[in-house]
Structures are given as C-alpha cells and as structure tokens.
Homo-oligomer: A and B are copies of this chain.
Amino acid sequence: MSIIERKLRQKESLRQQILDAAREILLANGYAHLSMRRIAEQIEYSPTTIYHYFINKEDILHHLCVEALERQFESISAAGSSEQSTFLRLRSSIRAYIDFGLSEPDRYKIIYMADISQYVSMASILEEGSAANKLCKLMRNMVKDVLFESASTLDPETVFQTIWAHIHGIVALLIGRPDFPWVEREKLIETGLDLSLAGLARKGTG
C-alpha cells in the first residue's frame, strides 16, 4: 500500500505548501494582502486547487491561527517556567503574552483580532489538547496558585479573564493604533501590570 501512502504524503505536502505560502504572505505583506489568488500564485497552482485542500479562506486562517497559538503557548510557557515564585511566574507569563503580540503583530491579529468568529467556532480552537486550551489552563492555574497563596477568595477564572482582557487591550491598542500618542511603551506595560496585579496580593471579596 505504499502507493497510497505516497499519494497521501504528496497530498499532505501540497496542503503544507499552501499553509506555508499563506503564512509567508501574511508575515511578509500583512493580513490585508493575504488572498487566495496570491497563495495560488506562490505555490504555482490555480486558485481552485486550494479549495480541494481547504474548505475556504477562513479554513486556512483557522490553521494559521492554531499554528500561531502554538507559538504563543510555547513562548509563554517558556517564559514562566524559569521563575521561582508563583507571582513572578504569572507576571512573566503575562509579560510574554504582551511581548508575543508586539513582536509578532500579524500572528496576534490572526488569533485575536481577525473576524473569524463567524466561520471558525471557538469550540474547535479550544478543543481538548489544543494550544489554546493548554494556554488557558496554564494561565488559569497560575492565577489560581497566586490567589491561593494570598488567601484570596476571588474566582480564578474571572481573574484570569480579567487579566487577559487587560493585556489583550494593551496589545490590541498598541498594534491597532500605533500613531496614538502613547506614553513610553515599557512604562505603560509595567505600570499596567503593577496596577492589574496589585489587587491579587490581598484578600478579595468575590
């Protein structure tokens, strides 16, 4: 059955070529210039061919999204692992989240800012074992550890989502409105984290 295997391998190869091309265009020319025809041009196939490997453009974006989430998960989990205290582990992970977004804006946009919600269900992105799932669990657990140590009664999930909202806000605004008169970037980020995490060090009420 090696012929079938080879065919599957070739099919998988072209599939990967399409994703590679899409990723390349995305990172080189930005989100706006990523088109099916351009991907086709790059892989030297007709645009229609792509539709035999992916349902539609959003399907491709979904895969790039999953891929980007894997990268994000790696950089965040790596950043946290070297720290000693639970608090610093959380803090440097959060910092890594922001740094990922600022250093890879197009990947970040694909994950969190693209209009894919109508096509790609959150459920499929968050499915068991996925990078997004692991990322959520990682963050939630770090929050839980910090809350436990400070004997807080706050709900870990709520705090996790709150922190997420905060850091997404920073990244999204800095990326999306780069010409706003922002204060010095480092100061904005660090002050933000200080304020955001200050409430975690003492007992909460809900």
Contacts and interface: CB of A to CB of B under 8 A. Distances in A.
Contacts of A172: 113, 168-169, 172
A155 B194 CA distance: 13
Interface in A178-195: 178-183, 187-188, 190-192, 194-195
A179 B119 CA distance: 12
A182 B196 contact: no
Nearest to A115: B32
A122 B159 contact: no
A181 B133 CA distance: 12
Interface stretch (A18-26, A36-44, A68-76, A198-206): A198-206
Interface in A144-196: 154-155, 157-159, 161-162, 164-170, 172-173, 176-183, 187-188, 190-192, 194-196
A80 to B, nearest CB: 20
Interface residues of A, number: 47
B154 A191 contact: yes
Residue among A162, A183, A200 with max Cβ neighbours from chain B (10 Å): A162
Q: Which 6 A-B pairs have the closest CB atoms?
A: A169-B169, A165-B169, A195-B199, A198-B199, A162-B192, A122-B179
Interface of A: 32, 112-113, 115, 117, 121-123, 126, 154-155, 157-159, 161-162, 164-170, 172-173, 176-183, 187-188, 190-192, 194-196, 198-200, 204-206
Given A155-B183, A158-B191, 6 more contacts: A121-B179, A122-B181, A165-B166, A165-B169, A195-B200, A196-B199
